[in-house]
């Protein structure tokens, strides 16, 4: 794959620490996993092999997984364990959307052995395949002559925290006698690289048996959500040539950028003041061509705002050529989401798809992607996921000096700022006893012509609060103790600390999936008394996870149980539909019932369903979530 190489995290940390004295660190936990387990307390990963006529059996080749159809955990039909984290936040330009990320966290998102110790090395994540039948094919025994090869792509680090020479990724094969043999390994390094493909042929007859398995393992320093390796596009098949490293496949590669020019999210009432000013000029995403030949790939998209279609486009007929074995950014026309009935929150369901007209594609599961962009009561540059932590560098800075961080936002509408939400974390340094004050400024000295620091709000001294409001590692709200009505204009939120320490605030390394993800946020400033009391934008690449909330005061980031008590209405779109129907989340079971009460379709663990084989008419969709809740909605199908 042809991609841009990211500067090493080590260089960023060293260069930045010597100048502005703020830096980034690894996380200690995985908030997405903790949130999932909080929402689904009865969840148990149950590995299950294929079933043939009700009889348990091993898998057959080809074995393939690019993780594009998995969320959080790997597919239990293909894999025996769930230690790795399936995501698209930590890798940089993977072959296809979603990868398996190896870190030093257990399936609950907690450090192994509940230990954070850079000087202690032990096992990290592993990923073990289900048993695979490499004994015979149609009665004929497999052998070396069948040219069976396992291939995969890997990337060290990505947007995650850096590896070093003490960290190792290994691949193992299971022999007939049940013993595991190491067949490949890679030593860690501090810089990130493009995804690299590895081809491992099976050349030993001891691997040709009915219970063959392969396994990825890591041996690493025990540092929590760090020391990342990413695996993608795993294929085990016969009749392969080690020199043929291309595939008749193309795929969505990245999450499409925000609809907004400057933000990932903002209050819809503020957006409505001037929608054209806030909307970006196009939607951008990356598409990969894994084939050995150029292709004419066509991209389309559609969107639904609170269930109502706001755009749909046909596949273009004048697609540009897409070079073989390359990544290419594609730009899609922007569309209006103005005049959507505002009920306090607007959810825009966004769907993108890629194809090559008239040419079959071997793997279609990675050709389409859907997700939701939310307009709530806050401004946000970040996309809600933290890859690292941010704060002042304790090792290179003088401790007895004042530090301040300010985060600029352009407020579009006269409104009440009632809360600041901050993503606090605990990582390399324990900041739970460190004291700081929230501050809000109207202007900063020397910034955009500011004559001085104009502080319009300052809190009492406090210490960080970790997820007390919601029982999980996520944003923690601070409600202002005064009414603060802000006129339209630029304001800054942030904090003051009387000595140098790392407050460990969440850091979004890919900057909310913006057009240029590998850049610093120009709205983030910091200063200390050591550098002439001047504000500086000399910050790492990425963006801070801190948000101002506007409007009427409401509970923020409350526990999941309080949300479960509210009436929930599932989102089904498009409705009416002619072929496929989508849901706002993955459901454990989906049943389609006709108007006579007969079940005509049943599926498990899906967020999309094809109904093209059903006749026109009114149907009822029964959805069951993983925590046992059941919902029913109407669906109209039109086939002509």
Residue 596, CA distances (Å) to 467, 593, 600 in order: 48, 8, 10
DSSP assignment string, 36-100: HHHH-TT--------EETTEE--B-SPEEE-STT-SBS--TTTBS---SEEESSSSSS-SSS-EE
Contact 240, 273 (CB under 8 A): no
pLDDT digits (tens, 9 = 90+) for 249-271: 999 999 899 999 999 999 999 99
Tell whether pTM > 0.75.
no
Q: Is the pLDDT of residue 561 over 80?
A: no
Q: Any idea what DSSP says for residue 9? A: H
Spatial contact of 573 and 581, defined as CB atoms under 8 Å apart: yes
User: What is the C-alpha separation between 306 and 323, in angstroms, rounded?
Assistant: 38
Q: H-helix or E-strand containing 322?
A: strand 321-322
pLDDT in the model for residue 27: 52
Task: Identify the residue with better confidence: 17 or 387.
Answer: 387
Check if the beta carbon of residue 538 is closer than 8 Å to that of residue 19. yes
Q: Which fold has domain 45-243?
A: Jelly Rolls (2.60.120)
Identify any residues that bridge with 507 across adjacent strands, giving them in sequence order.
388, 544
Is a pLDDT exceeding 50 seen at residue 276?
yes
Domain with CATH 2.60.40.1930 in the chain: 567-637
Task: Indicate whether 56 pLDDT > 60.
Answer: no
What lies within 8 Å, CB to CB, of 271 at 6+ separation is 260, 278, 375, 412
CB 378 within 8 A of CB 267: yes
What does the pLDDT average to over 588-597? 80
* Contact present, 1 and 325 (Cβ < 8 Å): yes
**What pLDDT does 239 receive?**
94
Smallest CA-to-CA distance from 640 within 609, 617, 621 is with 617
Q: What is the dihedral of CA 54, 59, 63, 66, to 10 degrees?
A: 50
Please list the residues that pair with 199 across neighbouring strands.
Answer: 151
**Cα–chain-centroid distance for residue 298?**
25
- Quick one: what percent of the chain has pLDDT higher than 90? 40
Q: Which residue intervals of 520-621 are DSSP H helices? A: 560-564
Cis status, amide bond into 337, omega within 30 of 0? no
Tell me what pLDDT residue 24 has.
Answer: 54
Q: What's the burial of 605, exposed, middle or buried (CB within 10 Å: 0-12/13-18/19+)?
A: middle
- Write the secondary structure of 395-435 as one string of H (helix), E (strand) and C (coil): CCCCCCCCEEEEEEEEECCCEEEEEEEEEECCECCCCCCCC
Q: How far is CA 485 from CA 431, 452, 498, 555, in A?
A: 32, 21, 28, 19
Q: Which residues of 235-258 are buried (b: 16+ CB within 10 A; e: fewer)?
A: bbeeebeeeeeebebbbbbbbbbb
d(CA 116, CA 126): 19
For the domain spanning 567-637, the CATH number is 2.60.40.1930
pLDDT-wise least confident of 23-37, 144-158, 585-599, 603-617: 23-37
Strand partners, 332: 283
Averaged pLDDT for residues 223-248: 90
pLDDT in tens, 520-537: 899 999 998 755 578 999
pLDDT tens, position by position, 474-483: 788 899 988 8
Q: Give the pLDDT of residue 55.
A: 34
- Under 8 Å between Cβ of 313 and 302: yes
Tens of pLDDT, residue by residue over 535-554, are 999 888 889 999 999 998 88
CA-based R_g, the chain, Å: 26
Q: Which two tokens stand for residue 53?
A: 């006529």
Higher pLDDT residue, 152 or 89?
152
Q: What is the pLDDT of residue 397?
A: 57
- Nearest Cα residue to 57 out of 48, 45, 66: 48
Q: Is the pLDDT of residue 277 over 90?
A: yes
The predicted-structure confidence for 294-310, as pLDDT tens digits, reads as follows 999 999 888 999 888 88
Return mean pLDDT, the chain.
Answer: 82
Residue 15's pLDDT band (cuts 50, 70, 90): very low
Query: Across the chain, how many H-helices and E-strands are there?
Result: 5, 40
Segment 482-510, tens digit of pLDDT: 889 999 999 999 999 988 888 888 888 87
Q: Cis omega (within 30 of 0) on the bond before 287? A: no
Q: In this predicted model, what pLDDT tens digit does every residue of 456-471 receive, in sequence order?
A: 999 999 988 875 443 3
Look at domain 268-375 and name its CATH class: mainly beta
Specify whether the CB–CB gap between 9 and 192 falls below 8 A.
yes
Q: Is the pLDDT of residue 51 over 60?
A: no
Task: For 103-213, list the strands marked E by DSSP.
Answer: 117-128, 136-137, 140-141, 149-156, 168-174, 180-187, 196-201
Q: Choose among 315, 253, 256: nearest CA to 280.
A: 256
Residue 427 has pLDDT above 70, yes or no: no
**CATH number attached to the domain at 398-557:** 2.60.120
Could you report the per-residue pLDDT of 148-157, keeping only the tens digit for each? 999 999 999 8
Tokens of 117: 């110790």
User: How many other C-beta atoms are found inside a 10 Å radius of the C-beta of residue 215?
Assistant: 18
Domain limits, CATH 2.60.120.260, in the chain: 45-243
Which of the 8 DSSP states describes residue 464?
Answer: -
- Residue 393 to residue 431: CA distance in whole angstroms: 12
CB 417 within 8 A of CB 480: yes
Calpha distance 465→134 (Å, rounded): 53
In whole angstroms, what is the distance from residue 56 CA to residue 401 CA?
Answer: 66
SS (H, E, C) 584-599: EEEEEEEEEEECCCCE
């Amino acid at each position: 794959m042809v991609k841009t190489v990211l500067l090493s995290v080590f260089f960023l940390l060293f260069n930045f620490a010597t100048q502005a004295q703020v830096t980034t660190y690894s996380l200690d936990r995985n908030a997405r996993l903790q949130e999932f387990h909080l929402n689904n307390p009865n969840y148990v990963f149950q590995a299950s092999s294929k079933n043939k006529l009700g009889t348990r059996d091993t898998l057959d080749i080809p074995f393939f997984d690019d993780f594009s159809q998995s969320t959080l955990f790997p597919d239990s039909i293909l894999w025996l364990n769930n230690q790795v984290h399936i995501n698209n936040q930590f890798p940089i330009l993977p072959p296809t959307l979603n990868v398996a990320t190896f870190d030093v966290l257990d399936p609950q998102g907690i450090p192994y052995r509940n230990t954070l110790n850079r000087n202690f090395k032990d096992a990290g994540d592993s990923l073990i395949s289900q048993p695979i039948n490499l004994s015979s094919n149609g009665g004929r025994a497999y052998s070396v002559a069948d040219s069976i090869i396992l291939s995969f792509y890997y990337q060290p680090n990505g947007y995650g925290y850096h590896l070093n020479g003490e960290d190792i990724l290994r691949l193992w094969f299971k022999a007939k006698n049940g013993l595991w043999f190491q067949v490949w390994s890679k030593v860690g390094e501090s810089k990130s690289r493009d995804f690299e493909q590895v081809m491992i042929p099976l050349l030993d007859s001891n691997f040709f048996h009915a219970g063959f398995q392969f396994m990825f393992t890591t041996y690493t320093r025990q540092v929590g959500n760090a020391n990342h390796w990413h695996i993608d596009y795993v294929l085990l098949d016969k009749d392969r040539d080690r020199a043929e490293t291309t595939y008749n496949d193309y795929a969505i590669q990245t999450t499409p950028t925000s609809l907004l020019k400057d933000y990932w999210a903002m209050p819809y009432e503020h957006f409505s003041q001037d929608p054209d000013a806030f909307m970006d000029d196009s939607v951008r995403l990356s598409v990969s061509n894994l084939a050995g030949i150029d292709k004419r790939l066509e991209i389309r998209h559609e969107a639904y705002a609170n269930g109502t279609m706001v755009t749909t486009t046909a596949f273009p007929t004048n697609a540009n050529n897409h070079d073989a074995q390359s990544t290419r950014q594609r730009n899609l026309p922007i569309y209006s989401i103005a005049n959507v009935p505002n009920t306090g929150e607007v959810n825009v369901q966004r769907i993108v798809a890629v194809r090559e007209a008239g040419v079959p594609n071997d793997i279609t599961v990675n050709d389409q992607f859907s997700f939701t962009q939310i307009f709530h009561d806050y401004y946000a540059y970040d996309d809600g996921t933290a890859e690292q932590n941010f704060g002042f560098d304790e090792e290179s800075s003088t401790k007895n000096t004042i530090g301040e961080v300010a985060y600029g936002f352009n407020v579009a509408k006269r409104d009440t700022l009632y809360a600041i939400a901050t993503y606090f974390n605990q990582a390399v340094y324990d900041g739970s006893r460190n004291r700081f004050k929230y501050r809000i400024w109207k202007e900063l000295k020397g910034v955009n012509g500011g004559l001085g620091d104009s502080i319009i709000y300052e809190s009492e001294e406090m210490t960080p609060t970790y997820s007390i409001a919601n029982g999980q590692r996520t944003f923690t709200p601070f409600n202002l103790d005064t009414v603060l009505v802000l006129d339209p204009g630029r304001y800054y939120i942030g904090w003051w600390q009387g000595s140098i320490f790392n407050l460990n605030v969440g850091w979004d390394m890919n900057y909310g999936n913006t057009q240029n993800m590998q850049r610093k946020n120009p709205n983030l400033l910091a200063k200390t008394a050591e550098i002439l009391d001047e504000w500086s934008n000399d910050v790492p690449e990425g963006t801070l996870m801190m948000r101002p909330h506007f409007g009427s005061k409401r509970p923020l980031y409350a526990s999941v149980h309080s949300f479960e008590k509210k009436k929930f209405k599932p989102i089904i779109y498009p409705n009416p539909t002619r072929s496929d129907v989508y849901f706002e989340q993955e459901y454990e079971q989906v049943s389609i019932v006709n108007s006579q009460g007969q079940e005509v379709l049943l599926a498990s663990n899906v967020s999309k369903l094809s109904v093209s084989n059903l006749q026109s008419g009114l149907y009822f969709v029964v959805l069951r979530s993983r925590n046992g809740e059941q919902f029913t909605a109407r669906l109209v199908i039109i086939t002509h």
